[in-house]
């Protein structure tokens, strides 16, 4: 059985979206975390992540943490969904590259941009990251061209919370809108926040 330990409006939101895309039966457990702005009630002792962060995925006796690892694990667990090119497929290398790039390159570049003082020049790494995404989207509607993959979920989830520093128009804005129009995205957003319990 899959159990996702999830905190609303966090990195685990895109994993919830991915699970919806994959159609995997799962249990969703809401945990509290400390957010970057200092809000939140974390760390939560119910969270099995060693650092009490999210996402944390339990699959039977296996615990998988870190967003890219969880995405890779889940997409490979459901090959019938077609969101992870198989080993030997020509798209496997680009797919793995994008999964790693979103976390290892785009995330840090994005945080540099968010931390920049108002009116400061755009950090070079952020501009380079946007150009890389633009270049990929020039070849197709998704990162792998015409093929939607878990890498799009990972990048799309990041773009979703960074809209204030992204272009208002152009390929990236159109890409984010395409992703947000997916039914699985809507289902995940409806489940993102913990249901309110009547007092």
CATH of the domain at 131: 1.20.1050.10
Residues 151 and 108 in one domain: yes
CA-CA distance, 191 to 42, in Å (whole number)?
20
Cβ atoms of 70 and 15 within 8 Å: the answer is: yes
- Residues 158 and 151 sit within 8 Å (Cβ to Cβ): no
| CB half-sphere exposure, 57, CA atoms < 13 A | 27
Residues 96 and 176 in one domain: yes
Does residue 131 sit within a domain? Answer: yes
Give dist(CA 89, CA 179) in Å, integer.
24
pTM above 0.75, yes or no: yes
Task: Tell me whether residue 65 is in a domain.
Answer: yes
Helix (H) or strand (E) holding 5: strand 2-6
DSSP 24-38: --EEEEE-----TTS
User: Are 44 and 97 members of one domain?
Assistant: no
Q: Is residue 168 part of a domain?
A: yes
CA 181 to each of CA 8, 141, 184: distance values in angstroms, whole numbers, following the listed order: 20, 13, 9
Q: Give the residue ranges of the chain where pLDDT is below 50.
A: 198-199
Q: How far apart are the first and last CA of the chain?
A: 31
Domain of 32? 2-82+185-192
Whole-angstrom distance, CA of residue 126 vs CA of residue 109: 5
Q: Cα(127)–Cα(131) distance, rounded to whole angstroms?
A: 6
With vertex at residue 164, the alpha carbon angle to CA 160 and CA 168, rounded to the nearest 5 degrees, is 90
Q: Looking at the structure, do residues 130 and 49 belong to the same domain, yes or no? A: no
What per-residue confidence (pLDDT) applies to 198?
45
What's the structural domain count of the chain?
Answer: 2
Residue 198 in domain:
no
Q: The CATH number of the domain where 35 resides is what?
A: 3.40.30.10
Q: Same domain for 176 and 100?
A: yes
Residue 145 lies in a domain: yes
For residue 197, tell me if it sits in a domain: no
97 and 177 both lie in a single domain: yes
Quick one: pLDDT at residue 196? 62
73 with 112, same domain? no
Same domain, yes or no: 170 and 109 = yes
In a shared domain, residues 67 and 139: no
**Shortest CA distance to 5 belongs to which of 62, 47, 59?**
47
Which residue matches tokens 């962060």? Answer: 53
């Amino acid at each position: 059985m899959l159990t996702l330990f999830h905190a609303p409006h966090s990195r685990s939101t895109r994993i919830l979206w991915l699970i919806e895309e994959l159609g995997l039966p799962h249990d969703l457990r809401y945990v509290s975390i400390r957010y970057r702005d200092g809000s939140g009630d974390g760390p939560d002792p119910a969270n099995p992540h060693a650092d009490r962060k999210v996402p944390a995925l339990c699959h039977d006796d296996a615990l998988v943490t870190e967003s890219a690892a969880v995405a890779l694990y889940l997409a490979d667990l459901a090959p019938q969904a077609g969101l992870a090119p198989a080993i030997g497929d020509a798209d496997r290398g680009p797919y793995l590259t994008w999964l790693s790039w979103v976390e290892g390159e785009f995330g840090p570049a994005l945080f540099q941009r968010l931390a920049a003082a108002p009116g400061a020049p755009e950090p070079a790494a952020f501009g380079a990251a946007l150009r890389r995404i633009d270049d990929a989207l020039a070849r197709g509607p998704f990162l792998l061209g015409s093929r939607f993959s878990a890498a799009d979920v990972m990048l799309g989830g990041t773009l979703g919370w960074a809209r204030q520093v992204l272009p208002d128009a152009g390929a990236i804005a159109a890409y984010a809108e395409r992703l947000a129009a997916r039914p699985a995205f809507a289902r995940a957003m409806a489940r993102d926040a913990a249901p309110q319990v009547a007092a």
